Amino acid sequence: METEKVKCLIIGSGPAGYTAAIYAARANLSPVLYEGLQPGGQLTTTTDIENFPGYPEGVSGTQMMEDLRKQAERFGTDLRFGIATAADLNQSPYKVTIDEEKVIEAQTIIIATGATAKYLGLEDEKKYAGMGVSACATCDGFFYRKKVVAVVGGGDTACEEAEYLAGLASKVYLIVRKPFLRASKIMQERVMKNEKIEALFEHNAVGLFGENGVEGVHLVKRMGEADEERYDVAIDGFFLAIGHKPNSDIFKPYLDTDKVGYIMTEPGTPRTKVPGVFAAGDVADPHYRQAITAAATGCMAAIEAERYLLN
């Protein structure tokens, strides 16, 4: 198998990966960045971004990622297509296999592989992606001011998203598969007291409809039971809040992760338990999952990599 030695390997190409590349390249670390399955990351599926500083008129997710990519390239980052398929972090130089055919031996590694939002698996979720379907209320809620939206989920995340959206939308339906909420008691109380939020217990969303975007959701109440009921509800936005899966599987044998799979780092830093290996962006962030926070940790990871190499 072909082997290549590098100073700094960056895995992933969202805001964290590209920002890390910009800083690492400017520090003369000659970074090599593998863009992964989805160059640009989750933001390339977002139509408009209005909350990233520096874009007063807003920008499409694809355009913003292209801007970051060009900036990383301008300073000399070696950008490559490829997927990390295996890793060996037992000793330095650390080894990462790309596409099961090439081994990169790296003195430092920045893991910026992100997290993938969980979806229900409906065809309509793909059909209306960026046209009313979202997995991030903080990112896209602003577009639904004084409109009607639905949030799918029954845990803390779903309740938090419903609460956030209730501050913007005229009405929020919380679609809960079970006859109860799994969220913490305080979050349950907040949701149930909010006049704008209506919890639909024992409901499943089975489809969406609309001409040029989401106009409604097909619901089934008590699916599979004798009193099963099917009906439609008019909505403008459909938010998934059933969790994220961090893309950390190949690193789990070597790094500490939480029960979901988020890579654990030293508080306030991107340092993992393996010296010279850093985690940035959503793969290590179960709380914020924003482009701006991902970019910030990408910056931190590159600075840490530079200091590690100097020492």
Whether 256 is catalytic: no
Q: Which is nearest to 110 in space by CA: 189, 191, 33, 222? A: 33
DSSP label of 115: E
Q: Locate the DSSP E strands across 91-138.
A: 94-98, 102-111, 115-117, 133-134
Helix (H) or strand (E) run with residue 165 in it: helix 156-166
Sheet strands (E) in 118-236: 133-134, 148-152, 171-176, 197-201, 203-209, 216-221, 229-234
| Residue 140 known to be catalytic | yes
Convert 138-154 to b/e letters by CB count within 10 Å (16 or more is b).
ebbbebbeeebbbbbbb
DSSP H/E element including 78: strand 78-80
Residues 48, 67, 99, 140: which is the catalytic one?
140
Angle 140-17-99 (CA atoms, 0-180°, nearest 5)?
A: 110
- Which of 136, 236, 282, 299 is labelled catalytic? 136
Active site residue 136: yes
Secondary structure element (H or E) that encloses residue 279, with its range: strand 277-279
For residue 310, what are its two tokens? 């100097």
- Given the residues 8, 124, 139, 285, select the one marked as catalytic: 139
User: Which residues are designated catalytic?
Assistant: 136, 139-140
